[in-house]
Amino acid sequence: MNGFWQATRQRPGDLFLIAGPCVIESEWHAIGMAQAIADITRKLAVPYAFKASYDKANRSGAKSFRGMGMDEGLRVLQKIRREIGVPVLTDVHETAQIPAVAEVADVLQIPAFLCRQTDLLKAAAESGRTVNVKKGQFLAPWEAKNIVEKVRSFGGSELMLTERGTSFGYNNLVVDMRSFPIMRGFGVPVVYDATHSLQLPGGLGDATGGMAEYIPNLARAAVACGIDGLFMEVHDNPPAALSDAATQFPLEKLEPLLETLLGIHQLTKK
């Protein structure tokens, strides 16, 4: 049982947070963000895992910033895990990446576009790490049961599903709140991605747009529906972010939002 899963299972019923910048922009920035978010979550007694990608392999444009690469990115994540003392989560895109990533990360995240890739799910399940699968924008919530059954068939018992919105016409996503109770019915923790679900995919032509102003609204609604965890991309200067600038949540607004969400969460537990 790894550090993240153990922390969340020791305090069942607590709302946990997965948060950090979209991509590792630099060592100092990633470490600074991890420390700042960890300070907030420790103050509020919220179980927390730091999230950042070493490589964003699905950027809209070929010239878009992708990250520091796997070797440097994993070194930074290992440093955060060791020095800040928090579990870390990062994306994996290919089966060949998993052995090295599993040496560092507590949680292996399967991107939404790859959620049905059987070989990738198999390798992640067999790694012994917690697996967070983002439900594809093209799937109905009840179809996610097939993902759960796949991962379990390969021995993966520490599994989460993340809702990140469903394609709604061109360049738009919508969140079906029914997805939370439906997917929780599969016997796995369900996470709401409050930032990616407000993207406008390809909305800027060669980049993704978004409606970050609605992040607090949908986060409150999702917590009221009884989610287990919240996923958010958080940045100290969203307009200057090197990836997903349109939907990263401002660091200075994180603590008051979490306080509100914890209050809603306590009501749902009653």
**Whole-number percent of the chain with pLDDT over 90:** 84
pLDDT in tens, 179-219: 999 999 999 999 999 999 999 987 676 677 889 999 999 99
| pLDDT value at residue 202 | 77
Residue 176, Cβ neighbours under 10 Å: how many? 13
| pLDDT value at residue 27 | 97
Beta bridge partners of 163: 192
For residue 74, CA distances in Å to 52, 53, 211 come to: 10, 9, 31
**Alpha-carbon gap, residue 215 to 192, rounded angstroms:** 11
Q: Are strands 48-51 and 88-91 parallel, antiparallel or unpaired?
A: parallel
**How is 126-151 classified by DSSP, letter by letter?**
HTTSEEEEEPPTT--GGGHHHHHHHH
Residue 2, Cβ neighbours under 10 Å: how many? 16
Residue 44, Cβ neighbours under 10 Å: how many? 16
**Third-level CATH fold of 3-269:** TIM Barrel (3.20.20)
Q: How far is CA 31 from the centre of its chain?
A: 18
| pLDDT value at residue 65 | 67
Q: Which amino acid is at 14?
A: D
Burial of 126 (0-12, 13-18, 19+ CB in 10 A): middle
Using CA atoms in the order 109, 111, 115, 121, what is the torsion angle rounded to 10 degrees?
Answer: -40
162 within 8 A of 192, measured Cβ to Cβ: yes
pLDDT in tens, 5-15: 666 655 668 99
Beta bridge partners of 53: 23
pLDDT in tens, 119-167: 999 999 999 999 999 999 999 999 999 999 999 999 999 999 999 999 9
**Alpha-carbon gap, residue 230 to 194, rounded angstroms:** 7
